Amino acid sequence: MDNQFSHFDSRGNAVMVDVTEKEVTERTAVAKGSIIVNKEVLDLIKSGEVTKGDVLGVARVAGIMAIKRTGDLIPMCHPLMLTGSSIDFTIEEAQSKITVTAVAKLYGKTGVEMEALTGATVALLTIYDMCKAVDKNMEITEVYLAKKTGGKSGNYRNPKEK
């Protein structure tokens, strides 16, 4: 059986990929995602007047914590010794949208795409949680891997990225 999915063995059982023989390289992943909110929520976030506190500050910490804990959340992800991570936000007022950019870095044998994607998603969920009393119609959208570097498969840039 040709196994194109590396998280399954020849019998179809789920397994963690063995990275023992892989080369150690510097690896980076960047993930992005957005949340569309109403104007009232956007104004409250920008002015720091959301009753639950500093929305983007809390979402930043939540996203970084998620990057660090991805191996505990996604069953077949390796626990990793990260060398860096960050969460940043861009507010697009015309679209009433907040975009998160999550970065995960390490020097190791496996990539950090799942860590960046998890960090972006948890940051967005945190924004939703902190603002849901004002707007339950918020929409989390466009979560994707923007780029990655390092490893056997080399560099990747999503066509969405300029």
And the tokens for 65? 């914590």
Residue 125 lies in a domain: yes
pLDDT given at position 8: 77
Residue 22 lies in a domain: no
pLDDT given at position 40: 97
Residue 111 lies in a domain: yes
Q: Where are the beta strands (DSSP E) in 3-119?
A: 25-36, 84-92, 97-108
pLDDT in tens, 1-57: 344 557 777 888 888 888 888 889 999 999 999 999 999 999 999 999 999 999 999
Residue 10 lies in a domain: no
Residue 72 lies in a domain: yes
Is residue 129 part of the annotated active site? The answer reads yes
And the tokens for 81? 């010794």
Residue 59 lies in a domain: yes
pLDDT given at position 5: 54
3-state secondary structure of 128: helix
Residue 8 lies in a domain: no
pLDDT given at position 23: 87
Tell me the average pLDDT of the chain.
Answer: 93
- Considering the candidates 18, 43, 88, 129, report the single residue annotated as catalytic: 129
Q: What is the CATH number of the domain that holds 41?
A: 3.30.70.640
- The domain tally of the chain equals 1
| Distance (Å, whole) CA 121 – CA 101 | 10
pTM: 0.91
Structural domain including 103 reads 30-154
pLDDT given at position 3: 43
